Chains A and B, each alone.
Chain A
Amino acid sequence: MVEEIGTTDEGDLIINIGPQHPATHGVLHLVITLNGETVRKVEPHLGYIHRSIEKMCESLSYRQFIYSTSRMDYLSSHINNHCCAMTVEKGLQLEVPERAAVIRILMDELTRIASHVLWWGAMAMDIGAFTPFFHAFREREMINDIMEETCGARLTMNYMVPGGVQFDLHPNFHRRVKAFVKQLRNKLPEYDELVTHNAIFKSRTKGVGILSKEDAISYGCSGPTARASGVDCDIRKTYPYEGYEKLQFEQAMSTDGDTYSRYLVRMVEMRQSLSIIEQLIDNIPEGDFQAKTKAVLKLPKGEFYSRVETARGEFGVYIVSEGGTTPYRIKFRSPGFSNLSALDHTVRGQKIGDLVAIMGSFDLVIPDIDR
């Protein structure tokens, strides 16, 4: 006999999306209430991959704790590390050599492209097109190779240290980045042909999951998710760091706030990142790649906060120091956590297929949410 299936009092169906589900890209658990195909409510249940990095960092030194953030948003691990290094430098009042700063920006932008390229494939896959995923990996592989040569790792780079970067650039770096920029510039129109201009893709995303500007701000959204709703919140523009103010680039913006504009914003951002790389790659200044620092770092008593723009949005590190060699308390403000809080509001009243599309356009990385 078929047993009765879980429903609410109003007769709506309750469905668990996740913790193991192809659309969540990780162990996100959403309990959704469905009326037919229409989503009534989405309730995230988190914690399946919570490692309490904040607690762990309380017993790690200022050199060590940086690398635990690679494991949060693993797709923009470099940018996370950058933020941590910047916070420590803020505490030590350390000047980063010019070469190190340029290398950091280059690496950040490469990471951003790698993340967006992967997102592009995954988003198309969420909507049901498999092929873009593999095309995306072709370009992402090139970035991974560049990273591997210089940083020694492909995903969790751990390349940043307080005061600069860990090693100098690999001799092949310049040539490989040039080749990559050329390749991606050639392939981006292909991406557009395959997905952006596809009629089915457009009908699946246009006018779906609209997040208004007020809601985006109120829900603390950041990154492309908020910029698609018309919030100019690119930290690289609004609170420039590490020399972003000297660079020519536009803040990718849209005002529609729907899934398609979130998609477009990221596509524009890839091109912007490419142009940043093009501006810098021939002008890497000579000099040290690392400032001289003591072996054991001690931050003065006080509180330090710095924020960067990761591929997903605003990432912040809040360090409370008691003057010791380890932080007293660390808080990571992760973009995914705040963006996720807007999911319920955005999805209500949409179809279950839209839920997947909207989740794809939010570009959630679960370890970033759970920390």
Chain B
Amino acid sequence: MTNEEIIAALTERKPELVSETGGEWPNFMVAAAEWPGFAAMLRESEDLWFDYLFCLTCVDWKTHLTMVYHLSSTRYRHNIVVKATLDRSAPEIGTVCNIWRTAEFHEREVFEMFGVHFSDHPDLRNLILPDDWVGYPLRKDYDDPVNMIKM
């Protein structure tokens, strides 16, 4: 499907979806609470079939956090970007690791680096950082006076 067709197909199913164009791939904003259901729909729909989660990350916008999911389909070769805005003080979003199992590791990484809590994640522990680490290193206000070199 082309980008326009994807946008059309999705807005037909969820008219309230906010889409952005202009980028290489269609962008959608979803509410954090709706995300797991929406993700399951993206994965299961025969015409969309987004079975490959190739990038999962988070961006700290200082006022809020944005989860970014890059999905593609190994069957139709179309791509989509889904974003969800999270509250920075208590970020929480549902896990998608039961839909795309690769998300388990990626979500653990985002959890320790940004402090995003993934509800229903089976094993939400620090993956890269030591277990007793304090702070979320990839947030913009993270400061480590010893190890960080300021330019």
Contacts and interface: CB of A to CB of B under 8 A. Distances in A.
Interface hub of B25, B27, B74, B128 (most chain A Cβ within 10 A): B128
Contacts of B54: 220, 222, 307, 314, 316, 333, 338
B151 A320 contact: no
Interface in A173-225: 215, 217-222
A215 B101 CA distance: 8
Interface of A: 44-47, 50, 52, 54-55, 59, 90, 215, 217-222, 231-233, 238-239, 302-305, 307, 314, 316, 318, 320, 328-329, 331, 333, 337-338, 340-342, 345, 370
B3 to A, nearest CB: 14
B102 interface: yes
A220 B129 contact: no
Nearest to A47: B128
Contact of B70 (A52, A222, A318): A318
B18 to A, nearest CB: 15
A340 B135 CA distance: 26
B98 to A, nearest CB: 10
Contact of A50 (B55, B106, B128): B128
B100 A231 contact: no
Nearest to B60: A329
Given A45-B127, A217-B51, A370-B128, 13 more contacts: A47-B130, A52-B137, A90-B24, A217-B52, A217-B74, A239-B77, A305-B55, A316-B54, A316-B55, A318-B68, A320-B59, A337-B106, A338-B102
Contacts of A331: 55, 57, 68
A44 B74 CA distance: 27
B92 interface: no
A33 B138 CA distance: 32
B102 A218 contact: yes
A303 B61 CA distance: 14
B38 interface: no
Interface residue SS majority, chain B: loop
Contact of A341 (B22, B24, B74, B105): B105
Interface string B44-71: 0000000111110101100000001010
9 closest pairs, A vs B, by CB? Answer: A220-B102, A47-B128, A331-B57, A341-B105, A333-B55, A218-B101, A59-B151, A46-B128, A329-B59
Contacts, number: 89
B23 to A, nearest CB: 6
Contact of B137 (A55, A338, A340): A55
A328 B51 CA distance: 29
B128 A341 contact: no
B127 A47 contact: yes
A50 B57 CA distance: 17
Interface string B87-125: 000000000000011101110010000000000000000
A52 B114 CA distance: 13
A233 B74 contact: yes
B77 to A, nearest CB: 6
A218 B51 contact: yes
B104 A341 contact: yes
Contacts of B57: 318, 331
A55 to B, nearest CB: 6
Contacts of B68: 318, 331
A61 B121 CA distance: 36
Contacts of B151: 59
Contacts of B109: 337
Nearest to A314: B54
Contacts of B81: 303, 305
6 contacts: A220-B102, A221-B102, A329-B59, A337-B106, A342-B101, A342-B102
